[in-house]
Amino acid sequence: MNFKTDYRLENFILNIKWEKLPNEVKNRLKGCFVDLMGALICGSQSEQFEAGVRLAERVYKEGDIAVVGSDKRFDFMGACAAMGHSSNAYDIDDGHNMTRAHPGTSFVGAVLAAAYEKNISRNEFLEAMLAAYETSIRSGAAIMDYYNYAHSSGTFGAVGVAAGVGRIYGFSKEQLNNVLSIAEFNAPLVPGIRSVEYPSMNKDGVPFGVMVGALAITEALCGFEGNKNLLESDEYRHYLDDLGEKYEVMDLYFKPYPCCRWAHPAIDACTSLMRQNGLNYTDIEHITIKTFNRATRLSKIEPKTVDEAQYNIAYPVASAVVYGDFGISQVRKEALSDEKTLAMMRRLSFETDQKLDAEFPARRICRAEILTKDGRLLISGECEPRGEAKENISVSWLCDKFRRITAPFLSKEGQDAILSLITSDEDLAIRQIVDCANDKKIWLE
């Protein structure tokens, strides 16, 4: 491979100015912060987060950096480890079709930790977030092509962490070039399809991507030297050609349900068909979901763990059919033994539709066919997941989602307080926002 260091990426990272960004990009970044804060708050109530906190206590040091959803404080590496375990715990975070991964969750734990450590403002934090988004998405495309198989979020997130935290730490373009190389070279090559077929906390590899990116920052500060990254090569330099003109952050999708995106159209196809025909789940004999092949490969087992419930297609669909929605309450451990949902799972089947499969991954489409107990066959139209980039998702859409997913944990007054700070026209200190989210007065018992 031929490499050329032209510092286009590094200069972009260093020269982002909030006041010069298009308004649509500013609003998108505020929306992303709302969405990721919701993921961190919900994730802080997970077993995965508990493991991350224990790891931080065992391996890293106490410090002054707050961790969303906890009263514990750690040094930079410890805070990264803890929040790296919560951001993707409920699979409710943003995604990007080009990389088939979740960029925001893969770096937010580290970028937020660095922002709190350095006491920067919200807008400075959002500038660093933009650097991380644009870097992780473009690097992700290059990495997937170079290794020629589907990696997952933790792989790309390591590079996003290097970009976002490097900016917050005041790295020079040469230092950024070095840390991007270290992070990309050592990024965990997470096998995405295995995580789909065999669900566990391994999932998208987000905690390890966050920790590798944070370790790359620390290594660079200690004098470790890398050399080159894929976006400097002849084969992949073109991914930087529209940097600063086209913002990949505008091509994100957002998830209404805490489960794999591939299950979302099946949830909506079933629930909308039921509403249109006035059906209750007790009226249903059988449901056939016709969809793209990757969706049919999602797990269909009766889940015993939260991760088995998320990386599953039968459980979320069955739960939504029974309860009319699939939210955090349906995916928590205490809900997994619900007999109504388990019985409905046994009335579902999934088939690959070749026409719909040909549209993947640009589009993820399915149809639902419901056979009622009185012999009617009801067929939905083609259904795509809600929250796609083409819908130009607004901040208000994401605020509504935040309220819905955090309702089991936060008071309405607490939700409003957090959202007001994140979306305010005033540029506030990032510590004020995190400390508000950690105020015990706003958390439900």
Q: Quote the tokens at residue 210.
A: 């966050």
Predicted local distance difference test score (pLDDT) of residue 98: 77
Predicted local distance difference test score (pLDDT) of residue 311: 87
State in Å, rounded, how far the first CA of the chain is from the last one: 57
Q: Which residues pair with 299 in a beta bridge?
A: 312
Predicted local distance difference test score (pLDDT) of residue 177: 98
* Average pLDDT value for residue range 45-61: 97
Q: Residue 74 and residue 82: Cα distance in Å, rounded?
A: 9
Predicted local distance difference test score (pLDDT) of residue 16: 98
Instruction: Please check the confidence at residue 52 and state whether its pLDDT lies above 80.
Output: yes
Predicted local distance difference test score (pLDDT) of residue 312: 92
Instruction: Please check the confidence at residue 100 and state whether its pLDDT lies above 80.
Output: no
Which residue from 64, 151, 164 is spatially nearest to 109, judged by alpha carbons?
Answer: 164
Q: Residue 362 and residue 340: Cα distance in Å, rounded?
A: 35
340-358 per-position pLDDT tens digit: 999 999 999 999 999 999 9
Predicted local distance difference test score (pLDDT) of residue 198: 77
Residues, the chain: 445
* Average pLDDT value for residue range 407-431: 97
140-158 per-position pLDDT tens digit: 999 999 998 877 899 999 9
Predicted local distance difference test score (pLDDT) of residue 305: 93
For Cα atoms 240, 242, 245, give the angle at the middle one, nearest 5 degrees. 135
Classify strands 348-352 and 284-291 as parallel, antiparallel or unpaired: parallel
Q: Residue 98 and residue 144: Cα distance in Å, rounded?
A: 10
* Average pLDDT value for residue range 234-262: 96
Predicted local distance difference test score (pLDDT) of residue 363: 87
360-404 per-position pLDDT tens digit: 888 899 999 999 999 999 999 999 999 999 999 999 999 999 999
Predicted local distance difference test score (pLDDT) of residue 193: 72
* Average pLDDT value for residue range 247-268: 95
Q: Which residue has the tokens 């480890």?
A: 81
CA dihedral 409, 319, 39, 445 (to 10 degrees): 10
Residue 109 region by backbone torsions, left for phi larger than 0, else alpha for psi between -120 and 50, else beta: alpha
Matching CATH topology for 8-253 and 261-379?
no
The whole-chain average pLDDT of the chain stands at 95
DSSP, residue by residue, 307-332: HHHHSBSHHHHHHHHHHS---HHHHS
Q: In what order do the strands lie in the sheet with 366-372?
A: 348-352, 284-291, 366-372, 377-379
Give the H or E element holding residue 73.
strand 73-74
Predicted local distance difference test score (pLDDT) of residue 152: 82
The fold for domain 261-379 equals: 60s Ribosomal Protein L30; Chain: A; (3.30.1330)
Q: Which residues pair with 3 in a beta bridge?
A: 233
- Residue 274 has phi, psi (to 5 degrees) of -65, -45
> Is the CB of residue 317 less than 8 Å from the CB of residue 272?
no
Q: Quote the tokens at residue 200.
A: 């566990």
Predicted local distance difference test score (pLDDT) of residue 200: 84
* Average pLDDT value for residue range 77-93: 96
> Is the CB of residue 222 less than 8 Å from the CB of residue 170?
no
Q: Residue 99 and residue 96: Cα distance in Å, rounded?
A: 6
Cβ neighbours of 360 (radius 10 Å): 17
Cβ neighbours of 58 (radius 10 Å): 9
Q: Quote the tokens at residue 99.
A: 């990389």
Give the H or E element holding residue 350.
strand 348-352
Predicted local distance difference test score (pLDDT) of residue 192: 73
pLDDT band at 182 (very low <50, low <70, confident <90, very high): very high
Instruction: Please check the confidence at residue 45 and state whether its pLDDT lies above 90.
Output: yes
300-323 per-position pLDDT tens digit: 999 999 999 998 999 999 999 999
Predicted local distance difference test score (pLDDT) of residue 151: 79
Q: Residue 422 and residue 366: Cα distance in Å, rounded?
A: 35
Q: Residue 364 and residue 261: Cα distance in Å, rounded?
A: 9
Please give the CATH architecture assigned to the domain spanning 8-253: Orthogonal Bundle (1.10)
Domain range list for the chain: 8-253, 261-379
Instruction: Please check the confidence at residue 50 and state whether its pLDDT lies above 80.
Output: yes
